[in-house]
Amino acid sequence: MRFKGSHILTICTFLAMVMLILGCVSAAQEHVVKGDTYLEQKQWDNAIAEYNTGIGLDAKSAAAYTGRGLALCYKGEYDNAIADYTKAMELDPTIALAFSQRGDAYGLKGQYEQAITDYIRAVQLDPKMNIAELNKKFAVAYSNRGTAYYNKNEYDKAFADCIKAIELDPELVGSEINRKLADVYYNSGLDYYYKDAYDKAIADYVKAIELYTKYTDAYIGRGLAYIRNGEYNKAIDDCTDAIKLDYASAIAYNNRGLGYFGNREYDKAIVDCTKAMELDPQFVRAYYVRGGAYKSKGDYDKAIDDYTRAIQLDPKFDSAYSQRGGAYSYKGAYDKAIDDCTTAIAIDPKNVLPYAVRSIAYDKKGEKDKALSDWTKAKELGLK
């Protein structure tokens, strides 16, 4: 086949244009490489200059826009960086790095929804990209969005994001937002506990612990709620965890003792309460719980001693008077039992226990009318 002169000229012109374009692309890539080098050296302005030159030579260089976007981001020009990343995506919709880095820019602007969306797209485009590094970015984005929800008092949404952040980066378990949010659920658990809503209290303590696994008070609080629910083994486990976190926690030892008491493991209860007293000699409840363990073992003198010490530390402790009255009654000291119960009733007339104990003491003394009156009153107050 032979070509006419005009055809040969056209082909030569085309080839010349191709070579020119290829030359520009090659030159543009050289400037991109130089820009990348300046980026590594943290010379942002020099990097931007090289990327600008590269874009001037090849306006379709997605790599140049991506690189310039990163340099702009480092300079704090987040909107301009986002514009460059977006342009890179228009030129090459498969460029995962641009999505990942635009996600960073959105995150730095506080636009966490967009950041998370971009990170998800980056993973979809390149599942083999540095997952560990990307997970940390994901985690920060979720944590920061959780902070935003927290500041708006949207605690359930904040909780979901913070838990997601921990799943992606376990090191965030002790982050500031997690601690703050854990406090929210801990205090909510306390409120439910004092309202006798123990299941709800436990649910909130669970959330507090998930957010901050070293939250000693949350383990103690949940343990006490388990005790109120009669779930003594769970209470013992929680208090044991609390002791591991804080071996000097008198309340953790006392509450574990209370769990052992509920399980009728009285010797273990005595050991734990004694430890609580060693850690805090003024800890009223420890004497009270140990007194109950001694009384349940039939050691009434030691029980009376412990209840007496509890009363000395807290003269308004009506239940301690009632329990000491019960111990006196078991010893046959009915008058002392009646005196203690009468004192307890004066402190709190709505407490069922002293009426029931005093009723028994009166009955043992043969004072049937008084015994019946107290028993009736105890029933009215809810004795079962």
- Write out the DSSP string of 90-158: HH-TT-HHHHHHHHHHHHHHT-HHHHHHHHHHHHHH-TTS-HHHHHHHHHHHHHHHHHHHHHTT-HHHH
Note the pLDDT of residue 255.
98
Average pLDDT on 164-168 reads 86
pLDDT of 150 above 90: no
Note the pLDDT of residue 21.
39
Note the pLDDT of residue 26.
66
Instruction: Give the model confidence (pLDDT) of 106-136 as tens digits.
Output: 888 888 888 888 888 887 888 777 667 777 8
pLDDT of 78 above 70: yes
* Per-residue CA distances from 31 to 25, 35, 92, 282 (Å): 10, 6, 19, 75
Give the single-character DSSP code of 170: G
Instruction: Give the model confidence (pLDDT) of 2-33 as tens digits.
Output: 434 444 444 334 333 433 333 444 677 888 88
Q: Which long-range contacts (CB under 8 A, 24 or more apart) does 201-208 make?
A: 201/225, 202/226, 202/229, 207/159, 207/182, 208/182, 208/183
**Better pLDDT: 225 or 130:** 225
**How big is the CA angle at 153 (ends 168 and 222), to the nearest 5 degrees?**
70
Structure tokens at 244: 């591991």
CATH for 26-129? 1.25.40.10
Residue for token digits 């003491």? 361
SS3 content of the chain, % helix, strand, coil (to 5): 80, 0, 20
Contact at 8 Å (CB) between 65 and 85?
Answer: yes
Nearest Cα neighbor of 189 from 177, 200, 173 is 200
Q: Percentage of residues in the chain with pLDDT exceeding 70?
A: 92
| Confidence at 212, pLDDT banded by 50, 70, 90 | very high
**Overall size of the chain counted in residues:** 384
Average pLDDT on 226-244 reads 98
pTM for this model (two decimals): 0.72
| Confidence at 316, pLDDT banded by 50, 70, 90 | very high
Average pLDDT on 237-243 reads 98
Contact at 8 Å (CB) between 69 and 102?
Answer: yes
Q: Could you tell me the residue ranges of all domains in the chain?
A: 26-129, 317-384
Architecture of the domain whose range is 317-384:
Alpha Horseshoe (1.25)
Fold match flag (26-129 vs 317-384): yes
